[in-house]
Copies of this chain bind each other. A is one copy, B any other.
Amino acid sequence: MGVKVSVAGGGSTYTPELVEGLLTRADRLPVDELVLLDPDPERLEIVGALADRMLRRVGWSGRLVLTDRRDEALEGADFVIVQLRVGGQTARLTDETIPGRFGFIGQETTGAGGFAKALRTVPVVLELAEETARRGAPGAWFVDFTNPTGLVTQALLDEGHRAIGLCNVAISLQRRLAERFAVEHDRVTLDHVGLNHLTWERAVIVDGKDRMADILEDPASYPGADDFPPELIRMLGTIPSPYLHYYYFPSEVLEHQRTHPSRAAEVMEIEAGLLELYRDPSLDEKPKLLEERGGAFYSEAAAALVASLHAGTGDVQVVNVRNAGAIPNLPDDDIVEIPARIDRDGAHPEPTAPLAWEMLGIVQHAKAYERLAIQAATTGDRTVALKALIANPLVGDYAGAAPLLDDLLEVNRPFLPRFSASG
């Protein structure tokens, strides 16, 4: 019998990529119902129509449902893929710009901006997971792509949900490093370790052999390496995630943000262009421009995970999952982002080496922040929210954090009913 996949935030411009990803795995993942769930009727119509053209082009025989009704979408779903964005690009714009006035980095997944996004997102995703638990098929999986993914997955698993968190950082690096070594990407395995958006590659295994030494000899040698100066990579002996730019170069980032338009503003323009393209009734493939939107290989990761969960393949993928002893010097119940074996029972993290001190300290610091941010998001408690901000390694400063929190709560008021009630 076929599989029902529901996509929360299905009106996203990312959706065509996801559709393509699911289609190419039809052998292992026989989807017979695909639901795009979105509260925005205009986007749903445009994106849905393109999805429909793409599916028809390849002769898919399943059923495509476009809906704004949660119950309809979740009823009997085997997989719920979450890519929603509470508050849309407008909320992202404030995440990225408001912190700057208080001397902090503005970014949508880390620091104060990521915190605001967490406050908006955690309650919504938890509700969705609860409804999935009630209405979904027995053993339904909840796959979260919405940022901050690690934090959201921590919240989901702490509440007992059957959930896995996904990110495209590892898969993108794998592809780029495969290019560097001129091999097929499935011959490259990474010793990827840390928390979502706070990770390092400690080993680059090509055909079973660690080639990190080659990287360190010429750190500028792989596509994307220009995020960091070679001396930094050589000093660390690892490849940091691009998001570590915010931790290793905060002052440079601040100066850049002070003098450039926000990424949200850019994305808004790209999205307008994409939707314009999607409207073209002759388009029945994923358009090229989508690559500029960011999120490369996102659907690749999502479709691969869903396929392996369904088929019980037992292959290894990088996911957000309970540590459960895999990293020896982190607690069992921390959600970490590491390689895990995927079967029908979920993701089973592979044992790995302890974190070096220079990774451990910042990871523990960030995890403590995540715990407080989840508590703040679920309770709407302003004091806990302030504790979370000062516990965030990219914030800390109380003098700026206190007035910043006022502004963040004020501007996000429509999306933070729990705070409205308590404030």
- A251 on the interface (CB 8 Å rule)? yes
* B261 and A403 within 8 A (CB): yes
Contact of A357 among B372, B393, B400 (CB under 8 A): B372
Contact of A235 among B252, B383, B403 (CB under 8 A): B383
Closest B residue to A375 by CB, please name it.
B357
Roughly how many angstroms separate A390 CA and B103 CA in the complex, as a whole number? 20
- A60 on the interface (CB 8 Å rule)? no
- A63 on the interface (CB 8 Å rule)? no
- A365 on the interface (CB 8 Å rule)? yes
Known: A258-B251, A403-B259. A393 touches B372 (CB 8 A): no
Give the chain B neighbours of A102 by CB distance below 8 A: 100, 258-259
Shortest C-beta distance, A38 to chain B (Å), equals 29
* A390 and B101 within 8 A (CB): no
* B364 and A251 within 8 A (CB): no
* B358 and A391 within 8 A (CB): yes
- A250 on the interface (CB 8 Å rule)? yes
Known: A248-B398, A251-B258, A252-B399. A361 touches B357 (CB 8 A): no
Give the chain B neighbours of A365 by CB distance below 8 A: 361-362, 364-365, 393
Mostly helix, strand, loop or mixed at chain A's interface? helix
Instruction: State the copy count for this chain.
Output: 4
Mark contacts of A351-374 with chain B using CB atoms, 8 A cut-off: 1 yes-contact digit, 0 otherwise.
000001110111011111101100
Roughly how many angstroms separate A398 CA and B258 CA in the complex, as a whole number? 11
Q: Mark out the residues of chain A between 248 and 289 whose CB falls within 8 Å of any chain B CB in the assembled complex.
A: 248-252, 255, 258-261
* B358 and A361 within 8 A (CB): no
Give the chain B neighbours of A400 by CB distance below 8 A: 251, 258-259
Q: Could you list some 28 contacts between A and B, CB below 8 A?
A: A100-B100, A100-B102, A101-B101, A102-B258, A231-B402, A232-B398, A235-B386, A235-B387, A248-B390, A250-B396, A251-B397, A252-B259, A252-B399, A258-B399, A258-B403, A259-B403, A260-B403, A357-B368, A357-B387, A358-B368, A358-B391, A361-B364, A361-B366, A361-B368, A361-B391, A361-B393, A362-B391, A393-B396
| Given A98-B101, A235-B386, 20 new contacts (CB under 8 A) | A101-B258, A236-B387, A247-B396, A249-B398, A250-B396, A251-B255, A251-B397, A258-B400, A259-B400, A259-B402, A261-B403, A356-B387, A357-B369, A358-B372, A358-B387, A358-B391, A360-B368, A361-B364, A361-B367, A361-B391
User: Interface on A for B, CB 8 Å cutoff?
Assistant: 97-98, 100-103, 231-232, 235-236, 247-252, 255, 258-261, 356-358, 360-362, 364-369, 371-372, 383, 386-388, 390-391, 393, 396-400, 402-403, 406
